[in-house]
Amino acid sequence: MFSEGLKGIVAAQTSISHIDGSEGILIYRGYEIGELSHLSFEEASFLLWYGYLPTEEDAVEIKKKLSTYRDLTPAMKDILHSLPEEMDIMSVLRTVISSLGGSEYKWKPTIEQSLRLTAVTPTIIADRFNMLMGRPLLEADTELSHVENYLFMLTGKSPSKAVADALETYMVLTMEHGMNASAFSARVTASTESDLVSAITSAIGTMKGPLHGGAPSGVIDLMNEIGVAERAETIIREKLVKGEKLMGFGHRVYKTHDPRALALRKKLLENKGGDSSLDLALFVEKKAIELLDELKPGRSLYTNVEFYAAAIMKSINLPTDLFTPTFTAARIVGWSAHVLEQAENNTIFRPQSEYIGKRNLSV
């Protein structure tokens, strides 16, 4: 039976995550996502890779390992410096990551390999960004957590607690999301018994497409246009009356509240007053929901995770072309968890196609 885009087709059984869009539920390893928003990046990664929550000793160990593996190899540095300036960061990331292929990453994939790829990804992104900005490349700070170090390497300064907490929560909430296009790409590649590097490279290439990992530039444009809280109601009302789409609201999977947006809002409220951009996002969301209820009753348009992702990126003054790479730095954990799971009970993916071409032609 043909199903366009494989919609509705169950391609694998998994214990990693579960999405119920109609109920607004996202589960990691049995835990609803709202229960996990307090976890560090390291702790959430441990949960997805090992299948259970880390002990205090586990958390310390995984943090140490991630900090140990941050440095690029000499070959990776050479490649990074040789790539043309006009090459986008996702293409750079895909190319530099692929240089890690070799006997060290042969089948079967391991959690140790996953740790290495996860640790090095933010370094590639930050080094490339600093190169393009004409700034010196920074050494990783092993005393900082995974997300704090990423922010430090991007900006050259220690982040505020409000911004670091917001970005870390965002990365925890987006590191896994079921059988999305990039996770499927990773599993298909892994199903041939190819190596983890190849599977992750496939996933990065898939994430690069604007239909999957595109930046929420529309949300950033909206926040820039509003600028200050006093302008929010006027601008949002005007857009809704004109019938314009309000960026950052509604989701193709979640038909009710996006549970990731709810968890991010909770984290931002905990640090309210710590960053003006994040405070503005909280106000704009509240005003937008009020106006949507007034002007579009019954539409059930709720904030999606991209709304707050855009606010977080704006708070650290990063350009929109860093959004998808940052998304990738989180999602690599989920991809590697899928590859590990695929390897445990592997069958090569080999779907059928339905021929609709001509027949019985003669020369």
pLDDT in 10s for each residue of the chain, 363 residues: 766 767 777 788 899 999 988 888 899 999 999 999 899 999 999 999 999 999 999 999 999 999 999 999 999 999 999 999 999 999 999 999 999 977 788 899 999 999 999 999 999 999 999 999 999 999 999 899 999 999 999 988 888 888 899 899 999 999 999 999 999 999 999 999 999 999 999 999 999 988 777 766 678 888 888 888 899 889 999 888 888 887 777 767 767 778 888 888 888 888 788 788 888 888 988 888 888 888 877 777 788 888 888 888 877 777 888 889 999 999 999 999 999 999 999 999 888 888 889 999 998
Same-domain pairing of 57 and 160: yes
Q: Is residue 6 assigned to a domain?
A: no
Same-domain pairing of 112 and 170: yes
Contact in structure between 13 and 247 (CB atoms under 8 Å)? no
Q: Which two tokens stand for residue 3?
A: 């199903």
Which residues are known catalytic residues? 251, 306
Give residues with Cβ within 8 angstroms of 331, minimum separation 6. Answer: 174, 175, 176, 177, 182, 203, 207
CATH number at residue 251: 1.10.230.10
Strand, helix or coil for residue 281: helix
Report the phi/psi class of residue 8: left, alpha or beta, with left for phi > 0 and alpha for psi in -120 to 50.
left
CATH number at residue 158: 1.10.580.10
Same-domain pairing of 65 and 99: yes
How many independent structural domains does the chain possess?
Answer: 2
Same-domain pairing of 308 and 187: no
Q: Is residue 311 assigned to a domain?
A: yes
Contact in structure between 249 and 302 (CB atoms under 8 Å)? yes
Same-domain pairing of 240 and 114: no
Range of the domain at 225: 217-315
Main-chain dihedrals φ then ψ at residue 211, nearest 5 degrees: -75, -10
- The model carries a pTM of 0.90
Same-domain pairing of 228 and 162: no
Same-domain pairing of 245 and 271: yes
Main-chain dihedrals φ then ψ at residue 249, nearest 5 degrees: -130, 135
Q: Is residue 361 assigned to a domain?
A: no
